[in-house]
Structures are given as structure tokens and as C-alpha cells.
A and B are shown apart, each in its own frame.
Chain A
Amino acid sequence: MNAKPPTQKLFYLIWLALVIMHFLILGSAYLNLKFANTPIVLTLAVFQMILILLYFMELRYRAKLFWLFAAVGFFWLALQWILTASDYLSRQWH
């Protein structure tokens, strides 16, 4: 255990933050931010994911070994995307 155990109230607050961020995502989609629209909504979605990982999935209260296992999934994902994208973007597929 790395932190104090969570309280019931904390989970309701996290849920509220998630819903507020959700409507921020929806609202921002209606603003013309040119090429920034998608990066903004995805950044907010990443913040939502971090809240869920840390509190609902309790990574914050787990040993560092769990952080490593969670990070490995995203590391493999980065490899999958970077290697495939480098191929698609460096050749004339289209």
C-alpha cells in the first residue's frame, strides 16, 4: 500500500470529475478549433483514463510492480503504433 485507503466520498468525486470531463469533451467538439479538436478531446479522454486507472482500478494504492505491469501494456501499444505508422507514413501506399 502506497497511500491512505480511499474513502467512499472520493469515488463519488472521481465520478463527478469523469462526467464533467465527458461533457467538456462533448462541448469542445462543437467549437471550431481546427486541427486541435481531436488532440483536445483525446487529451481529456486520457485524463479520464488516468483517473479510472489510479482510483477505480486502485493503481494508486498498489505496489510499484502493478504500475510496471500496467505500463507494459501501453509500452507494447506504443511499439505496435510507432512501427506500423512508420511504415505507412514512409511509403507511398496511397
Chain B
Amino acid sequence: MTEKNSIVAEQFVDAAQQNEATALGLWTFIATEILFFGGLFLAYAIYRHFYYHEFDLASRRTDLFFGTLNSVILLTSSLTMVLAVQAAKRDQAKMVVRFLSLTIFLGASFLVVKAFEYHKDIADQLVPGEKFNAALPPAAQLFFWLYWAMTGLHAIHILIGMGLLSVMFFLTRRGRISAPHFAPLELTGLYWHFVDIVWLFLYPLLYLVNRHA
């Protein structure tokens, strides 16, 4: 087995075929993730239908500044992610490391902003339970139950993504990510973009309900 072929598993003809197969596998995983978050979006739609007024009042208690800032951070991180993958395809390891560092930094920034936001939410008594903000109707807790569950699960996905990005960072530095062996980085990118897409829907549904009122 030659050096070049050692990264290609024996069931594949070449790296291109392996890249294609693994990417297809990740798209299958994304289909399951669509259903995973889909269940929560469905719960949101049903409860918002039944408790429209309560969702309206509750949504206006979320922090629009933090939410908007985090959206721009994530969109930008998707740009740096795709640029890292493109650099890997051109075999520019230094650029890959640079763009990966930026993506990790933006992911960490997202989590820091989220931590500040959660801190403010807790201080505003927006956690469902006995100490829930008395100024809001009881059914507003349904909104905040979904808010914490959806943003929390999303943040866990960001954390996992950052773990994967860190592994890619070290693999690239060790020369293990290069054309044509960039599949692990490409798969990490697909996952990262998917997590970004989830946020694109969380943002209007959690932060922008009846803001004009």
C-alpha cells in the first residue's frame, strides 16, 4: 500500500470516490437532524397556534440585540468555514488553518454572547417554573420552555462543531488534511452550515414575534 493510498479505505477506488461516499453519509445524518429539530419547531408551531397572545408577549422579552449579533456571527462563521474547505481543496494548508481559527473564534464568540444572554434571561426570571416572571401569563412558560430547549440544543451543536473544528485544526497542522484528502474537513463544514441554518429559523421565531406592536 502506497503512502498516497493509505488514507483511502480499501472498499473505495480512490479518494474522490471516498469523499463522495462520506459526504453522502453526512447528508443522511443531516436528514435525521432536520427531523430532530423539526419536532421542536413543530411543538413551537402548535403551541403558538393555541397560545398566540402569550407567545407574542413572551417573545418580546427575548434580547433582540444578542440574538441579532449572534446571527451575524454565525453567518460570518459559515463564510470562514466554506473558505477553509476551498483552501483545503487548493492544498493551501496555511489558509485552512487561518480560516479554521477564525471559524473557531466566531463559534466561541457565539457561545460567549449566548452566555451573556442566558445570564440576562435568568435575571429577568424567564426560566419556566415556580419563580417564573409574574408579569407574564403562565402559558408564556411554554414559549420559554421551547426557547431554552431549542437554543440550548443548538448551543450544544455549536459546541460539538467547535470540537470537530479543533480536531480539523490539528489534523491540518499535521499535514493530514490536504487535496485530495479533505473529506473530514468538508464533512465538518456541512455540519457547521446545517447548525447555521437551524439558527436562521430560530432567530425570527424566537426573537421577532410581533416586534412592531
A interface residues (Cβ-Cβ under 8 A, vs B): 6, 8, 11-12, 14-15, 18-19, 22, 25-26, 29-33, 37-38, 41-42, 45, 48-49, 52-53, 55-57, 62-63, 65-66, 69-70, 72-74, 76-77, 80-81, 84-85, 88-89, 93-94
B35 and A76 form a contact (CB under 8 A): yes
A73 and B30 form a contact (CB under 8 A): yes
The distance from the CB of A47 to the nearest CB of chain B, in whole angstroms, is 10
Tell me the interface secondary structure of chain B in the complex.
helix
In the assembled complex, the Cα of A64 lies from the Cα of B103 at a distance in Å of 29
How large, as a class, is the contact surface on chain B? 35 or more
A22 and B30 form a contact (CB under 8 A): no
A30 contacts which chain B residues (CB < 8 A)?
211-212
Across the A-B interface, give the 7 residue pairs with the lowest CB-CB distance, nearest first. Answer: A73-B31, A29-B208, A73-B34, A41-B204, A15-B79, A69-B27, A29-B211
The distance from the CB of A22 to the nearest CB of chain B, in whole angstroms, is 6
A48 and B212 form a contact (CB under 8 A): no
The distance from the CB of A65 to the nearest CB of chain B, in whole angstroms, is 7
In the assembled complex, the Cα of A80 lies from the Cα of B50 at a distance in Å of 19
In the assembled complex, the Cα of A94 lies from the Cα of B24 at a distance in Å of 43
A76 contacts which chain B residues (CB < 8 A)?
31, 34-35, 38
Q: Mark B38-49, 1 if CB is under 8 A from A, else 0.
A: 110010011001
Given contacts A25-B204, A30-B212, 17 further A-B contacts (CB under 8 A): A12-B79, A14-B79, A15-B76, A18-B75, A29-B211, A33-B212, A52-B78, A52-B200, A56-B193, A69-B31, A70-B27, A70-B30, A70-B31, A72-B31, A77-B35, A80-B42, A81-B45
